[in-house]
Amino acid sequence: MVDRIFDRSNAVYVKNVPGKGRGVFANVPFKIGDLIECAPTWGFDDVAGSLIDNTGLFEYYFVRHRRKREIDHNTGYVVFGFIAIVNHSLNPNAKIIWSDHDSGAWASIVATRDIKVDEEITHHYTNVSAYPPHIKFIE
């Protein structure tokens, strides 16, 4: 059985992290400001969000804070890429940057400090308080 699954560029890989589930790790060093991945998204509104919140997908969608609701009526976004399984940390080494294009909303994950080979890539979840109490976040 393979314990690491690599992305197409071989820049990152996924492996199981005890107590957390899957995590994303650097296969190459990243410097502060480096783009780790850019992924397309699918946005959904409050109606779809109320249904999604009752499924396992709840743990994998993203919320864009500081977004003007009169411009964008989406409640959340499903991100199609390794970004979707990057784990939470109170001391993250990466952050999500959003951009909007004719092809839709895109989520990028960018290094906020140097990341070493085999170091887990993490970001700070902005909606931790919305998670049910049975979900525990481990540093």
CA distance 99 to 91: 24
Residue 69 is predicted with a pLDDT of: 54
42 vs 129, higher pLDDT: 42
Mean pLDDT confidence for 83-109: 91
Q: What is the DSSP letter of 15?
A: E
Q: Which residues pair with 108 in a beta bridge?
A: 38, 97
**Class of domain 5-130 (CATH, top level):** mainly beta
Lowest-confidence region among 14-18, 60-64, 94-98, 113-117? 60-64
Note the pTM of the prediction, 2 decimals.
0.82
What counts of helices (H) and strands (E) characterise the chain? 1, 10
Classify 12 in phi/psi space as left (phi over 0), alpha (psi -120 to 50) or beta: beta
Nearest by Cα to 11 from 83, 77, 105, 61 = 83
User: What distance, in Å, lies between the first and last C-alpha atoms of the chain?
Assistant: 27
Q: How confident is the model at residue 2 (pLDDT cuts 50, 70, 90)?
A: low
CA distance 137 to 139: 7
Mean pLDDT confidence for 31-39: 96
CA distance 33 to 85: 20
Give per-residue pLDDT as tens, 48-89: 888 888 887 777 788 886 665 555 678 888 999 999 999 888
Domain ranges of the chain: 5-130
